C-alpha cells in the first residue's frame, strides 16, 4: 500500500521554479505508516467500525468519515472553457534582446534562463472530452520571471471570434453543447454554433481558421502559438511600442487529416496529451521560438485594419516576425491536479516594462481571468505551488479560504507605522503607458473594426489546393450536422462574403440552398506565411515523428534493426508492431521487441508505417489479415508515407493497394511511387532508411490528394 509522508526536502536541484515546487512536494514512501490527516496512524483503511461484525456502521470512526468526506469534495469546477488540457514545465532563454524597447529583464537580459510552464488545451469540450476534435487549441505560457509571473494566454490561431469580451459569453453559450440536451460534446458541428457564427459578422475571419487544418493539429508540439492581442512594451522613459507575440515550433506546424482525427477521438482520446508526455519522457523536448512583430507607436494607424482588433492579424508580409528566444519544455508534471488543474493563468499578469493595449477584448479578459480563478480556486490561488512567483512577493491582501502561510507582518495596510511592505522604486514597478485619452462615451468600435471579410478572404486565398479542399469538406461536415435549413442558408451566405466559389462548392451538398450572386468580389490578395503546405516560415523534418514498423513473419532481422536504428538517429520514434506483443523472431532467429500488436494499435497512431517482410515469396499471398490490409489502405488514404520491404511488396501491390503502382515495382530496386517506398530486395536497409526519413519529413503525400481532387 502506498503511503504519503512529507518529504525531507533538499531542494537544491533544478531551476528556481523546480526547487520551489519541490519544497511543496509530498512523496510516496511504503515504509511509513498510513495516517489520518491529523497524523494519527491507521491500521485498517479497508473496513469501517461496526457494532458487531454484522451490526450498523457507527459514526465514531474519524478515518471512515474523513476518507469519504474528502472524496465527496475532491472535485472543483472545471474551467468554463479550455477545460481539457495538458501542461509541462520548461525554460525560456532569450537570445536576441529587445534593448531600448522595454525594461522587462526577461526580454532584455540574455544571461537569464527563465523557468516556464505551458498548458495546451481544447476550448469547447469538458475535462474528459477527446483531444483531436475540431477546435482552436489554447497555448497558455507562463514565465516565472525575476520580476513576477508573465502569462501569455494565447491560442494556436492568431485571431479570435469576436472583437469584444461582452460577446464572448454569447459565443461560448452558442458553441458549447446545446442547453436542452447537452449534445454535442466538444464540437462546433451543431445548429447553435453555426447559427451564432453565421449571424455574427465578427466571427467571419475566425471561421476560416476553424474550418482549416489548424483546428486539428497533429501534436501540441507542432502548433504555432499566438498572443493574439497587440500588447505594449515600455522603455525606461515610459515610451510605448506595440508588440504581437508568436510561438513558432521547431518541428513545424502540422495537422492531422479529418478522417484520422475523427477515428483518434475513439481510438486514443488522449492522443495529444500522450504525445506531449511521451516526447518529454523520451527526452525529445519540444521547442518553440518566441517571435515578435514590433510596431512603432507612430505607425498605429498606418494599416487598413485596426491593430486593436483581435479579429485581425498583422500579415507577416507587412511586419516580419523577429525571433528573440527559445522555449523548451523538459519536465512533465508529476501530479496532474495540483500542477495542471490548479494552474491559474491571467492575461493581466505582465511584468514591469510591459503594458496592455486598448484592445477591447483584452480589457474584458483582464477582468475575466482573475474572476474565474477566484471561483475555481479561491482568493488565495496565487499561493498554490504552480502559481507562486519565484521572486519575492508580498501583499496587503489577507485571509480568505486556503490562506496557509503564516505571515509575520502585523500591519496589512499602507501607510503603516512599521514601514512594512514598502513600495518599490518606481522604475522597477509595474507602470502603465501614460497616454492621453478623450472621447465621447459610446458602445461603437472604431471604423476599421467594422470591416469583417478582407482577412477571411486573404486566409482562404493563401491556402494550397489540398488545404482549400479540407476547408470545403470541413464546412460540408459542420453544416451537415446542423438540422435547420435557415442555419445552412445563413452560413453559406456568410461564406459567400469570403469567396463565392467556396460558397457554391459547400452548397453542392445542400440542394435546398440558393447561393446568391457574388456579394463582394474576391480581392485576390494572398499572404506567403499562412499555408502549412507552402508557407514561408514552415519547417519540414522527420524529427519527433512516430513510425510504426509492422513485423511480418520471417522478416529480415538485420535490415529491420538497421532501419529502426537509422530512424531513431534521425529523432524518429520507431515503434514495432506485430501480431503479438513481446519478442518477435526474425529470419535469422534473432528477435525484436514489439510494443504494439494489431489489436491495440491502428495506423492512426503513427505518422508513417513500414511493412517489414522477408524473402519467402509464397508468404505474400497468405497475408490476408483484414487488420493489415485496412492499416495499409487507411494510411494511404491519410496520405502517410508507407514503406514495404521484401515479400510485403507483392502483398501491398496485389492485395492491399491493388492498381496503385506500376507493374515493375514488384521486381525492381528501391522505388518511390505515390509516397510509398518499395524495396522488394530486403538489402541492408541503409538506402531505404534515408529515403524513408525524407518521405516522413514531408509530413503527408499531398500528391495523393491532388490526384483525388483532379479525379
Ligand atoms: Fe480565454 C481560459 C485563450 C478570450 C475567458 N482562454 C483560456 C485559456 C486559454 C484562453 C488558452 C486556458 C488557460 C489555461 O490553460 O488555464 N481566451 C483565449 C484567447 C482569447 C480568449 C486566445 C482571445 C484572444 N477568454 C477570452 C475572453 C474571455 C475569456 C474574451 C472572457 C470574457 N478564458 C476565459 C475564462 C478562462 C479562459 C473563462 C476559463 C478558465 C480560465 O479562464 O482560467 O476566464
Supply the CATH number for residue 652's domain. Answer: 3.40.50.880
Domain boundary residue among 360, 383, 406?
Answer: 383
Contacts of 657-660 with C-beta under 8 Å, sequence gap 24+, read 657/632, 657/633, 660/636
- For atom 19 of ligand 1, the residue with the nearest CA is 154
Quick one: average pLDDT of 146-157? 98
Of ligand 1's listed atoms, the one at least distance from the Cα of 157 is 22
**Statement: residue 112 has pLDDT above 70:** yes
Domain boundary residue among 364, 383, 402?
Answer: 383
Range of the domain at 605: 546-710
Model pLDDT for residues 262-306, shown as the tens digit of each residue? 999 999 999 999 999 999 999 999 999 999 999 999 999 999 999
Of ligand 1's listed atoms, the one at least distance from the Cα of 361 is 30
- Cis, peptide link before residue 415, omega less than 30° from 0: yes
- What is the distance in A from the centroid of ligand 1 to the CA of 173? 14
Q: Which of 141, 214, 225, 365 to mutate to test the pocket of ligand 1 (most atoms within 8 A of CB)?
A: 365
Of 317, 319, 358, 552, the C-alpha closest to 458 is 317
**Statement: residue 708 has pLDDT above 60:** no
- For atom 26 of ligand 1, the residue with the nearest CA is 365
Of ligand 1's listed atoms, the one at least distance from the Cα of 369 is 44
Quick one: average pLDDT of 531-552? 96
Of ligand 1's listed atoms, the one at least distance from the Cα of 346 is 43
pLDDT confidence band for 617 (50 / 70 / 90): low
In angstroms, the first-to-last Cα distance of the chain is 63
Q: Classify residue 68: in a domain, yes or no.
A: no
Quick one: average pLDDT of 608-629? 80
- For atom 23 of ligand 1, the residue with the nearest CA is 160
All residues at 6 or more sequence positions from 160 whose CB lies less than 8 Å from its CB, including other chains: 206, 228, 310, 311, 361
Q: Could you give the residue numbers annotated as active site?
A: 82, 155
Helices 360-377 and 168-175, packing angle to 10 deg: 60
- For atom 38 of ligand 1, the residue with the nearest CA is 80
Q: Classify residue 283: in a domain, yes or no.
A: yes
Q: Classify residue 228: in a domain, yes or no.
A: yes
CATH number of domain containing 345: 2.40.180.10
Residue 383, C-alpha cell as written in the block:
499561493
Quick one: average pLDDT of 465-486? 97
Residue 210, C-alpha cell as written in the block:
476553424
pTM, 2 dp: 0.96
pLDDT given at position 621: 64
- What is the distance in A from the centroid of ligand 1 to the CA of 148? 20
Q: Classify residue 15: in a domain, yes or no.
A: no
Supply the mean pLDDT for the chain: 93
**Statement: residue 482 has pLDDT above 90:** yes
Q: Classify residue 10: in a domain, yes or no.
A: no
Quick one: average pLDDT of 428-448? 93
310-314, 417-421, 456-460: least confidently modelled range: 417-421
Q: What is the DSSP string of 270-304?
A: THHHHHHHHHHHTT---EEEEEEEEEEGGGTT-SS
Q: Which residues line ligand 1 (CB under 6 A)?
A: 79-82, 85, 119, 121, 138, 140, 153-155, 160, 165, 168, 228, 310, 343, 345, 361, 364-365, 368-369, 372
pLDDT given at position 33: 87
pLDDT given at position 489: 97
Is 619 one of the annotated binding-site residues?
Answer: no
Q: Classify residue 304: in a domain, yes or no.
A: yes
Q: Classify residue 331: in a domain, yes or no.
A: yes
* Rg value, the chain, Cα: 29
pLDDT given at position 711: 45
- For atom 29 of ligand 1, the residue with the nearest CA is 365
pLDDT given at position 615: 74
More confident residue, 537 or 700: 700
Gap between the Cα atoms of 668 and 173, Å rounded:
60
**Statement: residue 56 has pLDDT above 70:** yes
pLDDT given at position 283: 95
Q: How many domains does the chain have?
A: 2
**Statement: residue 3 has pLDDT above 50:** no
pLDDT confidence band for 624 (50 / 70 / 90): low
3-state secondary structure of 574: strand
- What is the distance in A from the centroid of ligand 1 to the CA of 622? 55
Of 18-27, 147-156, 640-649, highest mean pLDDT: 147-156
Model pLDDT for residues 132-148, shown as the tens digit of each residue? 999 999 999 999 999 99
Q: Check if the interface score ipTM surpasses 0.95.
A: yes
Q: Taking the CA of residue 226 as centre, how many other CA atoms within 13 Å lie in the half-sphere pointing to its CB?
A: 23
Q: Classify residue 184: in a domain, yes or no.
A: no
Domain boundary residue among 330, 363, 383?
Answer: 383
Amino acid at each position: 500500500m502506498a503511503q504519503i509522508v512529507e518529504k525531507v526536502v533538499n531542494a537544491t536541484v533544478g531551476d528556481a521554479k523546480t526547487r520551489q515546487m519541490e519544497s511543496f512536494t509530498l512523496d510516496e514512501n511504503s515504509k511509513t505508516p498510513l495516517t489520518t490527516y491529523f497524523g494519527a496512524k491507521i491500521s485498517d483503511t479497508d473496513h469501517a467500525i461496526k457494532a458487531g461484525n454484522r451490526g450498523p456502521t457507527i459514526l465514531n470512526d474519524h478515518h471512515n468519515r474523513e476518507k469519504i468526506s474528502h472524496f465527496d469534495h475532491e472535485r472543483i469546477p472545471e474551467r468554463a472553457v479550455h477545460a481539457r488540457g495538458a501542461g509541462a514545465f520548461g525554460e525560456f532563454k532569450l537570445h536576441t534582446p529587445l534593448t531600448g524597447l522595454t525594461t522587462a529583464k526577461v526580454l532584455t537580459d540574455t544571461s537569464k534562463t527563465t523557468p516556464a510552464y505551458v498548458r495546451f488545451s481544447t476550448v469547447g469540450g469538458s475535462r474528459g472530452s477527446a483531444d483531436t476534435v475540431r477546435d482552436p487549441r489554447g497555448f497558455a505560457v507562463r514565465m516565472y520571471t525575476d520580476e513576477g509571473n508573465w502569462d501569455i494566454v494565447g491560442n494556436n490561431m492568431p485571431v479570435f471570434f469576436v472583437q469584444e469580451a461582452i460577446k464572448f459569453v454569447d459565443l461560448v453559450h452558442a458553441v458549447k453543447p446545446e442547453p436542452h440536451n447537452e449534445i454535442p460534446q466538444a464540437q462546433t458541428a451543431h445548429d447553435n454554433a453555426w447559427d451564432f457564427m453565421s449571424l455574427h459578422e465578427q466571427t467571419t475571419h475566425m471561421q476560416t481558421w476553424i474550418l482549416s487544418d489548424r483546428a486539428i493539429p497533429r501534436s501540441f508540439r507542432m502548433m504555432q502559438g499566438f498572443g493574439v492581442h497587440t500588447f505594449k512594451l515600455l522603455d525606461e522613459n515610459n515610451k510605448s511600442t506595440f508588440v504581437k507575440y508568436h510561438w513558432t515550433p521547431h518541428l513545424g506546424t502540422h495537422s492531422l487529416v479529418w478522417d484520422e482525427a475523427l477515428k483518434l477521438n475513439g481510438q486514443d482520446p488522449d492522443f495529444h496529451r500522450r504525445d506531449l508526455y511521451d516526447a518529454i519522457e523520451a527526452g525529445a523536448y519540444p521547442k518553440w521560438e518566441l517571435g515578435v512583430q514590433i510596431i512603432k507607436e507612430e505607425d498605429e494607424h498606418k494599416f487598413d485594419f485596426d491593430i486593436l482588433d483581435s479579429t485581425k492579424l498583422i500579415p507577416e508580409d507587412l511586419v516580419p516576425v523577429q525571433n528573440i528566444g527559445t522555449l523548451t519544455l523538459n519536465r512533465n508534471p508529476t501530479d496532474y491536479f495540483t500542477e495542471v488543474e490548479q494552474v491559474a493563468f491571467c492575461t493581466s499578469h505582465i511584468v514591469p516594462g510591459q503594458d496592455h493595449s486598448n484592445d477591447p477584448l483584452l480589457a474584458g479578459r483582464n477582468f475575466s481571468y482573475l474572476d474565474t480563478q477566484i471561483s475555481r480556486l479561491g482568493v488565495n490561488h496565487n499561493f498554490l505551488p504552480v502559481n507562486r512567483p519565484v521572486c519575492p512577493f508580498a501583499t496587503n491582501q489577507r485571509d480568505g479560504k486556503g490562506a496557509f502561510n503564516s505571515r509575520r507582518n502585523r500591519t496589512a495596510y499602507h501607510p503603516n507605522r512599521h514601514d512594512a511592505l514598502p513600495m518599490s522604486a518606481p522604475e522597477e514597478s509595474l507602470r502603465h503607458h501614460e497616454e492621453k485619452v478623450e472621447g465621447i462615451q459610446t458602445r461603437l468600435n472604431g471604423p476599421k473594426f467594422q470591416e469583417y471579410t478582407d482577412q477571411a478572404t486573404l486566409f482562404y486565398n493563401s491556402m494550397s489546393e489540398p488545404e482549400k479542399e479540407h476547408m470545403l469538406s470541413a464546412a460540408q461536415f459542420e453544416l451537415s450536422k446542423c438540422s435547420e435549413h435557415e442555419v445552412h442558408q445563413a452560413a453559406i451566405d456568410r461564406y459567400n462574403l469570403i469567396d463565392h466559389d467556396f460558397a457554391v462548392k459547400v452548397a453542392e451538398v445542400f440542394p435546398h440552398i440558393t447561393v446568391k450572386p457574388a456579394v463582394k468580389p474576391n480581392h485576390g490578395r494572398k499572404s506567403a506565411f499562412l499555408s502549412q503546405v507552402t508557407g514561408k516560415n514552415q519547417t519540414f523534418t522527420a524529427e519527433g515523428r512516430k513510425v510504426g514498423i509492422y513485423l511480418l513473419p520471417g522478416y529480415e532481422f538485420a535490415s529491420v534493426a538497421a532501419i529502426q536504428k537509422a530512424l531513431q538517429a534521425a529523432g524518429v520514434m520507431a515503434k514495432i508492431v506485430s501480431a503479438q506483443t513481446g519478442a518477435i523472431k526474425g529470419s535469422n532467429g534473432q528477435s525484436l521487441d514489439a510494443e504494439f500488436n494489431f489489436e491495440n494499435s491502428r495506423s492512426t497512431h503513427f505518422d508513417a508505417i513500414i511493412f517489414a517482410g522477408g524473402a519467402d515469396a509464397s508468404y505474400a499471398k497468405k497475408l490476408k489479415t483484414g487488420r493489415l490490409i485496412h492499416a495499409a489502405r487507411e494510411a494511404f488514404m491519410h496520405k502517410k508515407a508507407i514503406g514495404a520491404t521484401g515479400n510485403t511488396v507483392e502483398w501491398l501491390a496485389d492485395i492491399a493497394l491493388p492498381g496503385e503502382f506500376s507493374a515493375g515495382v514488384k521486381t525492381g530496386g528501391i522505388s518511390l511511387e505515390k509516397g510509398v517506398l518499395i524495396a522488394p530486395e530486403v538489402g541492408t536497409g541503409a538506402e531505404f532508411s534515408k529515403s524513408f526519413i525524407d518521405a516522413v519529413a514531408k509530413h503527408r503525400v499531398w500528391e495523393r490528394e491532388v490526384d483525388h481532387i483532379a479525379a
